[in-house]
Structure 1
Amino acid sequence: MYQPGGGPRQPELDFEKIMGGIRDGIGQVAQRLGGGGVGLAAALVVGLIIVIWAATGIYTTSPGEQAVLRLFGKAQATPVTQNGLHWWWPGPFGNKDVVRTDLVRRLELGFRSSDGVANTPVPVEAQMISGDLNIIDVQMVVQYDIKNLTHFLFKVDDPGEDAGEQRIIAAGRPDGRTLKDATEAALRLVVGQRSLGEVLAEERVNLEIDTGTKLQEILDGYQTGINIVSVQLQKVEAPAEVQAAFNDVLQARQDKVTATNQAQAYENQVIPEARGRAEQIIQPAEAFKRARIERAQGEADQFLSILAQFNDRSITLENVLQDTDNADGDEDSTTGIGLSDVSMIVAPDIDGDGFDILVAGVTVLGAGGCAFTANQVSTTNATETCNFSAAFAAQTGDLTIGESFSIAYLGNEDVTIPQFVGAGPFSIRLNNKALDAGISVVDGPDGGVVSGLDISVSDFDPSTNIVTFGIQAGEELQAGDQFTVQYMNREDLAVPATSLVTQERLFLEAMEDILPAINKIIVSPDAETVLILGGQGGIVPVPFGPPAP
């Protein structure tokens, strides 16, 4: 069995020599002290020997060193790692092994180096077979230190190694033949898994990493206590006999890499430029596309809006509609106006199941907060008088354009006081036919001489639709002043082609589009039709406008 540190174990103390010296010392002391002092001298000598023996157990550990302690030959489980002065049982009971563990040691594989001399190849270690069955020379350096001193000293029985001046490993340490054989085995295994090209160039870094990993696994399996710091490939080449051919292969591969890099650089330059030019084309096209789509959508929405209005069969009522059924229960004729306040009184009834034309809806056309009499416009915040439109629908099928019908509703009519009224009375013809004599003045002037409205209804002639108004005594009216009459209106209507509002709008829009290109207009004095001549498209017909009042 090889001892830690190499070579046969040497005793720490030579007790025979010590005992001999003690006997001589005792003899000398006894001669001087005589027979009675022999016992005292012996006791002093024994005490001195014990002190000296105990002092030999003192030892120190420097930075980077550790100590493994043994008692009766058995190593303690935990090495001493603290630096400084320590004590342990001296021999023959105890022993200690102090080793520097942080020192990075070196193993050369495939070559041997020496100071001032070129590296000496060791082919038996360097030559190995790659994965594609080619012979290759690989030289490598392994750097290592000690990570477990107990394992390093006592777990592996190594014969040692003498590899020249740079590496002499005594027997009993695992970094001799054990480390070299494990390194060679790990390297051959990793090289045997790769092709020649990968070992020479492409996988050089990975080769070092994989070899170091595999080597550490082997050493840990042997419990050597060695830690692999680094694995560095040195000279990796083909055998000298085929070196020239392999150099050509390597050069070709390098040329390939260079050409690939140049092509990649060209690609990285050309593709962004092409994409930039493409974006310069795509973005205006996208903008044009969006503009066309938005314009088409706008035109479609405008057309649908006009179509909806064109299909609208609503008619604006002549007078201001009032609430007749008190649907909201507030007794206010200006609120709660709805569909039931317009009644169909005359209409076709072909199949005898009721009027073929029905009131479909009532809509206020005035702005929000509009007034119900002319005087309210001048005395309140209202800006206009309310207007109402009534929409109509067929009981079944579609309405027949031009078909006549009549409706009735309670409405307000604003009337202007004529000239030369004087003290009255005066008469005015109503715009709409009044269905009954229930005519009243709901708003008008109040001079203040007599409390209340100055104008009242005194007579009504149904045959002429003329209403006679009286004036309160003492009051004077101003020509042009307005008052409001409320009565049950009858309007005789016909189903329009489309609403008058839509006709007016279409007419004005057509004028706005066509007038800039007109250079001559011919109007027949006997006809309402207007033809416009001289446009870029030749003769351009214009939709008929609403008939003149």
Structure 2
Amino acid sequence: MSLNGSDQDPWAKPGQSQPDNNTSKDDKKSDWTSNSGNKQRNQEQSPPDIEEIFNNLLKKLGGKGTGNGNTSKAPKPANLGKLLPLAVVIGAVVWGLSGLYTVKEAERGVVTRFGKLHSIVQPGLNWKPTFIDQVTAVNVEKVQELKTQGAMLTQDENMVKVEMTVQYRIQDPAKYLFSVTNADDSLNQATDSALRYVIGHMSMDNILTTGRAIVREETWKALNDIIKPYDMGLEVIDVNFQSARPPEEVKDAFDDAIKAQEDEQRYIREAEAYAREQEPIARGDAQRIVEAATAYKDQVVLNAQGEVERFRRLLPEFKAAPELLRERLYIQSMEQVMAKTPKIMMDGSTGNNLTVLPLEQILGNNAAAKAEPTPNKENNTLPRNLTTNPARAVLNNTTENNNAVRSDIRQGRFN
């Protein structure tokens, strides 16, 4: 078929006749080359194809893409369904392992779920859902310490610089974290308030001298009363009153007063120690005196009872021979009296003359004679019974006389 009465090449330009067989192939090649160049220019100017990018991504993941990238229909990702469950499993394992945590022995873990208190976990290995629960570790065994100090006004309108230390421990972790905004700062403010209250109700002399223990006890009590309504989960273990100093202008005078107070306490302790030392000695002496008096009383009573019993036994003899018993008692009494005197009076057999013997010298000579290696027995002029027992000599001399001589002796004695 021909157009306009002549055959025309469909690949020829309009208005041109059918080319020769020799030139048709070259023209076709040049036309294809020009068309492909135009197509590449259009691709460079147009935005990237999303399908082509997705196919390239599937190739990297292991899928099969188009050979030249010019196909109009992309292949289906055949391995994507197999990789998705594996990725889910790996993600779940990583998420589960990220929730493991450890709470130390001295700590307690406060668990919050989406910001709200959920539970309190004990020490050990625990697990929490990541991105859902948050765990805050709180040490409940550590003894913490805070200090407060400042210049405070006393009851007598004096300024005193005071320092105090408070030792506390966390008792309830949940209340410690959520009852107040900052439990440590709240405790510090409460301590300062309690200390100022106590100092304001005491005089300066009392604070600096003998009232230190009172300040400590009263501050501890006031601090517990202040923090009790807040329920902060804290336990106050101890309150230490560190120091109290007067202003620098009157520091020397107060130092002298404190030294005098210390000297007073020292003297009191020394006196108490001396009293504790002397008290047992005095009690021992008192007990000894009481026991000696008791023994003397018993002795006197027993002696009196013995004398009474002796006189009872002598009563029948006195009734039988009164004169003889009277003489016998007289002699016994003289024996007891004369045994205690250093001199002896001897009554002569006739007359009323009394002879006084120097018994001290006699006894001294006898002692010297005994001390000599060869004593002279001829120098002993007194009888043996007189030197050994002077009272017995009187008794022997008396018993040797007759009744007439006895009457003379009795007469000379009463004269």
Shared fold per TM-score greater than 0.5: yes
CA positional deviation for 1:271: 9.4
1:35 match: secondary structure: coil
Q: 1:197 aligns with which of 199, 205, 210?
A: 205
Residue 50 of structure 1 aligns to which amino acid in structure 2? A
Residue 236 of structure 1 aligns to which amino acid in structure 2? A
Q: Does 1:254 align with 2:259?
A: yes
Q: Quick one: structure 1 residues 532 and 80, their matched pair in 2 at CA, closer, same or farther if it must change by over 3 Å?
A: farther
CA deviations on 1:323-366 (whole Å, 9 max, x unpaired) are xxxxxxxxxxxxxxxxxxxxxxxxxxxxxxxxxxxxxxxxxxxx
**Which residue in the other structure is 1:422 paired with?**
none
Q: 1:265 aligns with which of 260, 270, 274?
A: 270
Q: 1:42 aligns with which of 59, 66, 84?
A: 84
**1:66 and 1:143 mapped to 2: Cα distance?**
20
Q: Quick one: structure 1 residues 264 and 143, their matched pair in 2 at CA, closer, same or farther if it must change by over 3 Å?
A: closer
**2:402 and 2:58 mapped to 1: Cα distance?**
165
Q: Does 1:297 align with 2:338?
A: no
**1:271 and 1:234 mapped to 2: Cα distance?**
33
CA deviations on 1:251-304 (whole Å, 9 max, x unpaired) are 1242243155347636855996799699879968974x5675455424422343
**2:165 and 2:157 mapped to 1: Cα distance?**
24
Q: Does 1:511 align with 2:331?
A: yes
**Which residue in the other structure is 1:543 paired with?**
none
CA positional deviation for 1:67: 0.7
CA deviations on 1:57-85 (whole Å, 9 max, x unpaired) are 111223433211234544345x32323x3
**Which residue in the other structure is 1:498 paired with?**
319
1:91 match: secondary structure: coil
Q: Does 1:109 align with 2:148?
A: yes
Residue 409 of structure 2 aligns to which amino acid in structure 1? L
Q: Does 1:134 align with 2:158?
A: yes
Which of the two has greater helix per residue?
Answer: 2
User: Aligned residues: percent identity?
Assistant: 20
Structure 2 unpaired stretches of 5+: 1-52, 64-75, 336-390
Is residue 107–residue 141 contact of structure 1 (8 Å, CA) maintained in 2?
Answer: yes
Q: Quick one: structure 1 residues 154 and 539, their matched pair in 2 at CA, closer, same or farther if it must change by over 3 Å?
A: same
Q: 1:99 aligns with which of 138, 146, 151?
A: 138
Residue 252 of structure 2 aligns to which amino acid in structure 1? N
**Counterparts of residues 514-533 of structure 1 (less than 5 Å):** 514=334, 516=391, 517=394, 523-524=402-403, 530-531=406-407, 533=409
Q: Does 1:75 align with 2:117?
A: yes
**Which residue in the other structure is 2:99 paired with?**
57
Q: Quick one: structure 1 residues 153 and 512, their matched pair in 2 at CA, closer, same or farther if it must change by over 3 Å?
A: same
Residue 81 of structure 1 aligns to which amino acid in structure 2? Q
Which of the two has greater strand per residue?
Answer: 1
Q: Does 1:89 align with 2:89?
A: no
**2:146 and 2:221 mapped to 1: Cα distance?**
16
Is residue 520–residue 532 contact of structure 1 (8 Å, CA) maintained in 2?
Answer: no
- The 10-residue stretch of structure 1 (275-284 or 65-74) with the greater mean CA deviation from structure 2: 275-284
CA deviations on 1:133-161 (whole Å, 9 max, x unpaired) are 433221223343322211111222x2xxx
1:36 match: secondary structure: coil
Residue 413 of structure 2 aligns to which amino acid in structure 1? G
CA positional deviation for 1:236: 1.8
Is residue 209–residue 258 contact of structure 2 (8 Å, CA) maintained in 1?
Answer: no
**1:88 and 1:271 mapped to 2: Cα distance?**
68
**1:71 and 1:181 mapped to 2: Cα distance?**
31
**2:410 and 2:228 mapped to 1: Cα distance?**
105
Q: 1:152 aligns with which of 164, 167, 176?
A: 176
CA RMSD of aligned residues (A): 4.5
**Which residue in the other structure is 2:379 paired with?**
none
Q: Quick one: structure 1 residues 248 and 505, their matched pair in 2 at CA, closer, same or farther if it must change by over 3 Å?
A: same
Is residue 310–residue 499 contact of structure 1 (8 Å, CA) maintained in 2?
Answer: no
Is residue 58–residue 86 contact of structure 1 (8 Å, CA) maintained in 2?
Answer: yes
For these two proteins, the number of residue pairs brought into alignment is 291
Q: Quick one: structure 1 residues 56 and 128, their matched pair in 2 at CA, closer, same or farther if it must change by over 3 Å?
A: same
**Counterparts of residues 96-495 of structure 1 (less than 5 Å):** 96-110=135-149, 126-156=150-180, 158=181, 173-176=182-185, 178-238=186-246, 240=247, 243-259=248-264, 261-262=266-267, 265=270, 269=274, 287=292, 289=293, 293-294=297-298, 296-309=300-313
Is residue 209–residue 261 contact of structure 2 (8 Å, CA) maintained in 1?
Answer: no
Is residue 106–residue 141 contact of structure 1 (8 Å, CA) maintained in 2?
Answer: yes
Structure 1 unpaired stretches of 5+: 1-23, 111-125, 159-172, 313-495, 541-549
Residue 53 of structure 1 aligns to which amino acid in structure 2? W
**2:272 and 2:163 mapped to 1: Cα distance?**
39
- The 10-residue stretch of structure 1 (256-265 or 49-58) with the greater mean CA deviation from structure 2: 256-265
Is residue 71–residue 95 contact of structure 1 (8 Å, CA) maintained in 2?
Answer: yes
**2:86 and 2:279 mapped to 1: Cα distance?**
103
Q: TM-score scaled by structure 1? A: 0.43
Q: Quick one: structure 1 residues 533 and 128, their matched pair in 2 at CA, closer, same or farther if it must change by over 3 Å?
A: same
Is residue 398–residue 406 contact of structure 2 (8 Å, CA) maintained in 1?
Answer: no
Is residue 309–residue 498 contact of structure 1 (8 Å, CA) maintained in 2?
Answer: no
**Which residue in the other structure is 2:48 paired with?**
none
Residue 35 of structure 1 aligns to which amino acid in structure 2? P
Residue 301 of structure 1 aligns to which amino acid in structure 2? Q
CA positional deviation for 1:179: 1.4
1:140 match: secondary structure: strand
Is residue 208–residue 258 contact of structure 2 (8 Å, CA) maintained in 1?
Answer: no
Is residue 130–residue 192 contact of structure 1 (8 Å, CA) maintained in 2?
Answer: yes
CA deviations on 1:11-42 (whole Å, 9 max, x unpaired) are xxxxxxxxxxxxx99x9569643423333333
**2:263 and 2:147 mapped to 1: Cα distance?**
34
**2:226 and 2:136 mapped to 1: Cα distance?**
25
Residue 179 of structure 2 aligns to which amino acid in structure 1? K
**Which residue in the other structure is 2:20 paired with?**
none
CA deviations on 1:145-202 (whole Å, 9 max, x unpaired) are 322211111222x2xxxxxxxxxxxxxx3112x1122111221233234332232232
Q: Quick one: structure 1 residues 213 and 273, their matched pair in 2 at CA, closer, same or farther if it must change by over 3 Å?
A: closer
**1:285 and 1:146 mapped to 2: Cα distance?**
64
Q: Quick one: structure 1 residues 200 and 524, their matched pair in 2 at CA, closer, same or farther if it must change by over 3 Å?
A: closer
Residue 179 of structure 1 aligns to which amino acid in structure 2? L
1:202 match: secondary structure: coil
Give 1 or 2 for the bigger CA radius of gyration.
2
Residue 89 of structure 1 aligns to which amino acid in structure 2? P
1:175 match: secondary structure: helix
